[in-house]
C-alpha cells in the first residue's frame, strides 16, 4: 500500500469520527484530545506534516485527563480547517517505503549508537532528538545503575554521562565501565554544569576522553559526536584482539573463518566450527555485578587458551559467546577438546567478597564445514541453540537431517491506530534475519494484548507500545508487563507523542528500554528494533 493510500484512509477515518460527533450534542474534551493525538502521530508518519503540526498546536490547549464536555457546534471551524488540509493536499503517488535489510545487524552497524546517562529527562530528550535527526541513535538512562546495565547489554559506540546523577556520580560510572570501555575503544564523555578545574582533571585521570560544560552548544556537539564515532570506528577496524579476554575479536573471527574456508576448498580438508555460550551469564552480572562477570569471561578464556591446540583458533564472538575453529578436525574429534574444557571449567570456583562461591557452565554447538562459511556458522549456531534449549551445559553436533530449530523474535505492535499498525507490520514482514523467525502480532489496545496468551518463556519479544490508548493507558500496560514477566527476553519501546519530562521519566522508570516520538518513519523503528533486540541473539 502506498503512502497515498494511507493518506486517503486517514481522511476517511477522520470523516467517520466527525460523523459520530454530529450524532451528539457534546463530546468529552479527553476524547477530542485522543483524536488529535492520534491524528498528529499518524499524519506526521505518513507525510502530512501540516496536519500533524496543526493537531500539535491544538493539543496544547486541551487536557487528556479533563472530564469537561465540548459542544459539537463549537467545533465547526475546527472541522472545516481539518478538512481543508485534505482538500488542498494533492495525494500524489509516492514510492513505497524502502524495505528493511535482511540481516539483524545491517542497519544498526552502519549508524552511530550513543548511550546518554542523564537524570534531566527534558535535556536528554532534546539531545536524543537532535542527534537522531542526524542519524545517530540514542538510548537514555536516567541514573547511573541503569546506565551501567545498558552499557554492558547494548554495547554502545560511545557514552555521554552527566557528572551529577541521582544514585551515583559520573565518576562512579567511569569506575564501573572505564576498563571495559577502553578495551572496546568506546569513548566516554563526561558533562556537567559544574566545571571547576578539579572536575576536569579528575575526568581525564579516570579515563574520560573529554569533559564538556553544560549547557551544550548543539551546533558544536553534533559534529563533535560524529567526529568521535568516526575515530572509534577507525580504531576498531585496526584491532584484532579482545583486550578483556585475550581471544581474537569478532573482526578477526570473520577474517579467519574466510581464510580457513578458502583453504579447505583448495586442499579438500575439513574443519569444525564450535560456538560456545556461558550459561545464565546475565544472572552472574545481576547477582554479583559486572566486574564479576568480566572475571568469569577472563577465566573461561584463559582455560580455553591453555587447553586448545596450537593449530586451533579462539575468538570472543560477542558478549558471553565465543567461537573455536578447529582445523583438520571433525565435530566428533572436536568434542574431546570441548569436554576437557568443560571439565576444567566445572572445577573452577568463582569467589567474590560478600558472596558465596559459585560455578559457571557453558553450552556448545559444533558443525563441520560443508558448503560455505555462512552455512557452517548458521549450523553451529543452530546446534548451540539446541544445546541451550535442551538444558544447557552440553555440546550438540549439528545433524543435517535433524531439522532447524530457529529462534523466534515476536514483534508485538500495540496501538489503537490501525494505520500505524499496518504500516509497521508491512515493514517488519520484509525483515528476514538469518536463522531467526520474525513473527508480527497486532493488538488494538492494551487490554486485548494482556488478556491474550502471548508469552512463551523460550521465545523473545519486542513490544512496540503506544503511549496513549483507550481502555488502558500504555504506561499501565508497561507497568503490568514488567511486574508479571521477566525482562531478559522482553524489550519494550514506547511509541509516543508525549514529550514532557514527567511522562518520559515515568516511562523509563517503569521499565521502558527506549521511546520513539511520533511522528516517526517506519524504517527508523526497524533500525531501533535491530539495535535493542541484538543482545537477545548473541
Q: Quick one: 395 and 266 in the same domain?
A: yes
- Work out whether the CA dihedral 125, 129, 131, 132 comes out positive or negative: positive
- For the beta sheet containing 321-327, the strands, ordered from the edge strand earlier in sequence to the opposite edge, are 312-318, 321-327, 271-278, 362-368, 395-397
Distance between terminal CA atoms of the chain? Answer: 35
Domain membership flag for residue 119: yes
**pLDDT, tens digit (0-9, with 9 covering 90-100), for 38-96:** 888 888 877 788 888 888 888 887 888 888 888 887 787 788 888 888 876 544 444 44
Domain span holding position 288: 250-402
Write the CATH number for 129.
3.40.50.2300
* All cell numbers assigned to 458: 523460550
Contact 512, 492 (CB under 8 A): yes
Residue where the block lists cell 564450535: 274
Q: What is the DSSP string of 236-285?
A: HHH--B-TTTSSB-HHHHHHHHHHHHHHHHHHT--EEEEEEEETTHHHHH
Same domain? For 442 and 376 the reply is no
In 10-122, beta strands by DSSP E? 26-28, 69-71, 113-117
Number of domains in the chain: 4
Element spanning 465, H or E: strand 460-466
d(CA 60, CA 387): 55
For residues 20 and 14, what is the distance between their CA atoms, to the nearest angstrom? Answer: 10
Domain stops at, among 208, 238, 268:
238
What's the pTM value of the predicted model, to 2 decimals?
Answer: 0.70
Domain membership flag for residue 80: yes
Query: Which residues, 6+ apart, have CB-to-CB distance to 393 below 8 Å?
Result: 279, 342, 361, 362, 363
Q: In this predicted structure, what is the pLDDT of residue 422?
A: 82
> Do both 414 and 473 map to the same domain?
yes
244 in a structural domain: no
Whether residue 308 lies inside any domain: the answer is yes
The mean pLDDT values, 10 residues at a time, for the chain of 538 residues are 72 90 90 87 81 86 84 81 74 42 41 88 86 90 93 90 94 92 91 88 93 91 95 85 91 92 83 96 91 95 96 93 95 95 96 94 95 90 91 92 71 87 85 81 94 90 90 91 90 78 80 84 81 74
Residue appearing with cell numbers 491524528: 39
474 and 500 inside one domain: yes
For 329-362, the pLDDT digits (tens) are 999 999 999 999 999 999 999 999 999 999 999 9
Please give the Cα distance from 514 to 494 (Å, whole number). 6
Find the DSSP H helices in 446-535. Answer: 446-451, 474-484, 501-509, 522-533
Q: Are residues 297 and 378 in the same domain?
A: yes
User: What is the distance of C-alpha 147 from the center of its chain?
Assistant: 14
Rounded Cα distance, 526 and 511, in Å: 21
CB 271 within 8 A of CB 325: yes
Which pLDDT value is given to residue 351? 94
Are 300 and 520 within 8 A, CB to CB?
Answer: no
- Whether 332 contacts 264, CB under 8 Å: no
The residues pairing with 437 across neighbouring beta strands, listed in sequence order, are: 408
| CATH number reported for the structural domain that contains residue 314 in this entry | 3.30.70.270
166 and 257 together in one domain: no
Q: 351 and 226, same structural domain?
A: no
Q: Where are the alpha helices (DSSP H) in 157-217?
A: 170-183, 197-205
Please say which residue of 88, 119, 134 terminates a domain.
Answer: 88
What phi, psi does 410 have (nearest 5°)? -95, 120
Residue 132 inside a domain? The answer is: yes
Is residue 214 situated within a structural domain?
yes
d(C-alpha 85, C-alpha 430), whole Å:
32
3-class DSSP state for residue 410? strand
Q: Give residue 53's pLDDT.
A: 87
Question: Of 367, 402, 437, which marks where a domain is finished?
Answer: 402
What 3-state DSSP class applies to 161?
strand
Q: Are residues 398 and 260 in the same domain?
A: yes
Which pLDDT score is estimated for 263?
86
Output the pLDDT for position 247.
95
The answer on 366 and 496 residing in a single domain is no
Q: Is residue 243 part of a domain?
A: no
Cell of 432: 528476514
Same domain? 521 vs 429: yes
Are 255 and 267 contained in the same domain? yes
Positive or negative, the Cα torsion across 332, 337, 338, 343? Answer: positive
Whether residue 538 is contained in a domain is answered as yes
Q: In this predicted model, what pLDDT tens digit does every residue of 57-72 receive, in sequence order?
A: 888 878 888 888 888 8
Measured between alpha carbons, how far is residue 313 from residues 251, 356, 395, 436 in Å?
A: 13, 34, 18, 27
Helix (H) or strand (E) holding 87: helix 76-88
Same domain, 64 and 140: no
What's residue 269's pLDDT? 82
Closest CA to 36 of 13, 52, 49: 52
Which phi and psi (to 5°) does residue 156 adopt? -70, 165
Amino acid at each position: 500500500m502506498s503512502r497515498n493510500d494511507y493518506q486517503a484512509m486517514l481522511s476517511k477515518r477522520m470523516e467517520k469520527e466527525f460523523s459520530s460527533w454530529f450524532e451528539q450534542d457534546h463530546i468529552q474534551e479527553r476524547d477530542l484530545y485522543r483524536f488529535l493525538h492520534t491524528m498528529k502521530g499518524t499524519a506526521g508518519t505518513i507525510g502530512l506534516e501540516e496536519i500533524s503540526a496543526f493537531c500539535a498546536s491544538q493539543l496544547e490547549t486541551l487536557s487528556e485527563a479533563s472530564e469537561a464536555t465540548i459542544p459539537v457546534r463549537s467545533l465547526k471551524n475546527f472541522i472545516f480547517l481539518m478538512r481543508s488540509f485534505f482538500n488542498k493536499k494533492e495525494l500524489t503517488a509516492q514510492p513505497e517505503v524502502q524495505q528493511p535489510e535482511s540481516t539483524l545487524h545491517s542497519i544498526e552497524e552502519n549508524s552511530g549508537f550513543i548511550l546518554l546517562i542523564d537524570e534531566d529527562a527534558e535535556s536528554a530528550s532534546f539531545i536524543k532528538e537532535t542527534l537522531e535527526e542526524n542519524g545517530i541513535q540514542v538510548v537514555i538512562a536516567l541514573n547511573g545503575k541503569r546506565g551501567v546495565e545498558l552499557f554492558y547489554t547494548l554495547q554502545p559506540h560511545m557514552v555521554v554521562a552527566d557528572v551529577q546523577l541521582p544514585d551515583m556520580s559520573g565518576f562512579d560510572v567511569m569506575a564501573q565501565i572505564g576498563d571495559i570501555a577502553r578495551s572496546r575503544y568506546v569513548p566516554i564523555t563526561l558533562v556537567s554544569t559544574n566545571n571547576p578545574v578539579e572536575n576536569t582533571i579528575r575526568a581525564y585521570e579516570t579515563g574520560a576522553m573529554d569533559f564538556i560544560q553544560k549547557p551544550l552548544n548543539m551546533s558544536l556537539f553534533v559534529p563533535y559526536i560524529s567526529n568521535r564515532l568516526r575515530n572509534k570506528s577507525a580504531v576498531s577496524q585496526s584491532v584484532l584482539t579482545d583486550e578483556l579476554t585475550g581471544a581474537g575479536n569478532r573482526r578477526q573471527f570473520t577474517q579467519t573463518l574466510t581464510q580457513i574456508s578458502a583453504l579447505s576448498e583448495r586442499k579438500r580438508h575439513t574443519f569444525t566450527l564450535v560456538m560456545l555460550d556461558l550459561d545464565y551469564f546475565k544472572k552472574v552480572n545481576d547477582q554479583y555485578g559486572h566486574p564479576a562477570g568480566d572475571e568469569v569471561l577472563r577465566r573461561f578464556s584463559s582455560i580455553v587458551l591453555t587447553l586448545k591446540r596450537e593449530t586451533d583458533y579462539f575468538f570472543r564472538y560477542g558478549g558471553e559467546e565465543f567461537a573455536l575453529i578447529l582445523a583438520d578436525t571433525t565435530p566428533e574429534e572436536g568434542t574431546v577438546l570441548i569436554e576437557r574444557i568443560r571439565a576444567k571449567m566445572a572445577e573452577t570456583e568463582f569467589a567474590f567478597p560478600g558472596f558465596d562461591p559459585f560455578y559457571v557452565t557453558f553450552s556448545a554447538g559444533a558443525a563441520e564445514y560443508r558448503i560455505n562459511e555462512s552455512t557452517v556458522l548458521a549450523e553451529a549456531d543452530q546446534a548451540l541453540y539446541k544445546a541451550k534449549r535442551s538444558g544447557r551445559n552440553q555440546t550438540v553436533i549439528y545433524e543435517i537431517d535433524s531439522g532447524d530449530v530457529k529462534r523466534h523474535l515476536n514483534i508485538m505492535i500495540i496501538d489503537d491506530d490501525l494505520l500505524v499498525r499496518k504500516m509497521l507490520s508491512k515493514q517488519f514482514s520484509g525483515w528476514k534475519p538469518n536463522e531467526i523467525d520474525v513473527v508480527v502480532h497486532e493488538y488494538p489496545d492494551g487490554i486485548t494484548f494482556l488478556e491474550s496468551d502471548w508469552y512463551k518463556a523460550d521465545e523473545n519479544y519486542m513490544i512496540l507500545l503506544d503511549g496513549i490508548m483507550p481502555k488502558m493507558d500504555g504506561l499501565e500496560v508497561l507497568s503490568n508487563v514488567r511486574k508479571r514477566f521477566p525482562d531478559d527476553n522482553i524489550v519494550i519501546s514506547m511509541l509516543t507523542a508525549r514529550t514532557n519530562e514527567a511522562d518520559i521519566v515515568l516511562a523509563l522508570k517503569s521499565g521502558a528500554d527506549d521511546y520513539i516520538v511520533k511522528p516517526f518513519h517506519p524504517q527508523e523503528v526497524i533500525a531501533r528494533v535491530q539495535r535493542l533486540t541484538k543482545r537477545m541473539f548473541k
